[in-house]
Amino acid sequence: MSKAKDSAWKTKYGARRVRREGPTLEEAIAAAQGLSDDRDEQVEIASSLIGLPQQDVRAALLTLAPARKELSRSVISTATGAAARPRVVVVESRRPRRIAAAQR
């Protein structure tokens, strides 16, 4: 497929076109926060995704709230019988980040 903005191709159901939109600044910052914990790396990743200078991205990143690291921990202790050693299993899981879409 070509890199043209209005690339269209013919199928048996007719011509099909795909609209391509670049990521917004907030989406690029959210993606960068998911990839790295270091702020300088986040600025570099987000600026490369949307093509803005790093100073603009750094200013926007500092105004947004930092990503929360939510870990849920479950501790399960299993022991059967009086002579058995208790086993402890710790399960840590992170909740997926959900981005709310703007209402139209």
pLDDT at 38: 87
Give the Cα separation of 43 and 10 in Å (integer): 40
Answer for the pair 42, 20: CB distance below 8 angstroms, yes or no.
no
Cα first-last separation, the chain = 31
What's the whole-model pTM score? Answer: 0.51
Tens digit of each residue's pLDDT (9 = 90 or more) over 56-104: 999 999 888 665 555 555 666 666 666 666 666 666 666 666 666 665 5
Domain boundaries in the chain?
15-94
H helices of the chain, where? 25-35, 39-50, 54-63
| Residue 3 confidence (pLDDT) above 60 | no
For the segment 22-40, the average pLDDT, to the nearest whole number, is: 87
Phi, psi at 81, each rounded to 5°: 80, 165
